[in-house]
Amino acid sequence: MVSIKDVARDAGVSPQTVSNCINNPSIVKPATRKVVQASIARLNYTPNASARRLRTQRSNTIGIGIAPVSYSQVYDRFLHALVTEADANGIRVLLYKTDSQQDEIRQFAALAARGDVDSFVLTDTTHDDPRLAWLHEHHQPFVLFGRPWGCGAMDDPSTPWVDVDGHYGIAEMTRHLILHGRKHIGFIGWPGVSGTGTDRYQGWRDTMLDARMVSGDELGQLYEEASNDIIAGQTACIALLDRRPDLDAIICVSDTLAVGAATALPNDTDIVITGFDDTVSSRSMGLSSIAQPLTESARHIIRITQEQLDAPAAAFTGTNDGGGAASTADSHSTGAPEIVAGAYTGSGSDGGGRGASSTSPVATPATAAATVPATVIARDDRHILLKPTIVIR
């Protein structure tokens, strides 16, 4: 392995100068820098990560857990997005197992103690999540993907999170259906009260009531619950149509349920089924869905992580610094999203056409969703709520 000394000898300078060329090029005389960089290239030198970590006491690595099974079908795409954004910022991603929340806490302790990671990314936050308590107690940096529902930490500066606005997504989808002439729009949701599920449900409910498409009394008839699998989706769809044969659209809280519902439809029907997450399955079935801006989410997660680590002692002020999301990233952030401070349950037509032709976030079937940068609705720069993209097929 070629080390910094080899480069130094080759370039006729001291190891320190080589180090400076890499970590602080501006303080090296251009001529010297040139020579050193030539040596680096010729010898194909790459700094040893362990040595650097030992010296700087920074691993430049974040940890993220993987559960025994993932029901969402979106986790692998999220991981890819996260790794991609991390990679672009010189950060590595370490995977650890999470068989339970307690197990994850054990992993926190081990990984943090060994200095394997600087920070963690958490998903699937639950009510009174013990992981948050542990992390806070041990002053361990982290970022949530998903809001800390019911933890009372929604606005806590020391509980940064990035999430996708399910309420908005479902509301937008509902509006789209209404605008295209659908009169009786049902909803299949998850049972129980989950933050995410309830949020999405309310997106449908609020829009339906706002548009006077349904009375409060009638709402229950258009609603069905189903655990997150295909069969449950089928069952719920059948129950819904049984109760309300006049339905002409059913919005599902997930793609899995949408796939189930779609397969339970009579052959000759015109009923529209929509899902959430724009998975391969729903896409192959031609269902409209709601795509989470995973790349954008990952970008913010990495940005916040970087900010935390670069300014560990600086207390968070709680005020938006004016620059917003775009201010930190050094040349990486292409198409930096605008930050629209304020409530996130806004009406669909937010000001500011931010792209080419389409003023609505509804993507045309042909143009892929990925090209449109996600719009941000945020409280401040450590609590980021992203708008999903409605994908109509």
Name the binder of 71 from DNA, a second copy, none, CB < 5-8 A by kind: a second copy
Name the binder of 313 from a second copy, DNA, none, CB < 5-8 A by kind: none
Least distance (Å) from DNA to the CB of residue 112?
Answer: 14
Least distance (Å) from DNA to the CB of residue 111?
Answer: 14
Least distance (Å) from a second copy to the CB of residue 240?
Answer: 18
Structure tokens at 380: 């401040």
CB closer to DNA, 58 vs 180: 58
Name the binder of 276 from a second copy, DNA, none, CB < 5-8 A by kind: none
CB closer to DNA, 6 vs 206: 6
For 301, counting Cβ atoms within 10 Å of its Cβ (0-12 exposed, 13-18 middle, 19+ buried), the class is buried
Residue 393 to residues 124, 139, 184, 207: CA-CA distances in angstroms?
A: 29, 46, 20, 21
What does the binding site for a second copy look like in residue numbers (CB under 8 A)? 1, 44, 46-51, 53-54, 59, 61, 64, 66-71, 73, 75-77, 79-80, 83-84, 87, 92-97, 99, 110, 113-116, 229-232, 256, 259, 263, 280-281, 284-286
Name the binder of 87 from DNA, a second copy, none, CB < 5-8 A by kind: a second copy
What does the binding site for DNA look like in residue numbers (CB under 7 A)? 1, 3-5, 12-17, 19-20, 22-24, 27-29, 31-33, 45, 47-48, 51-52, 54-57
Name the binder of 284 from a second copy, DNA, none, CB < 5-8 A by kind: a second copy
Least distance (Å) from a second copy to the CB of residue 258?
Answer: 11
CB closer to DNA, 45 vs 134: 45
CB closer to DNA, 178 vs 309: 309
Partners of 273 in beta bridges: 250
Angle value at C-alpha 276, between 270 and 280, nearest 5 degrees: 85
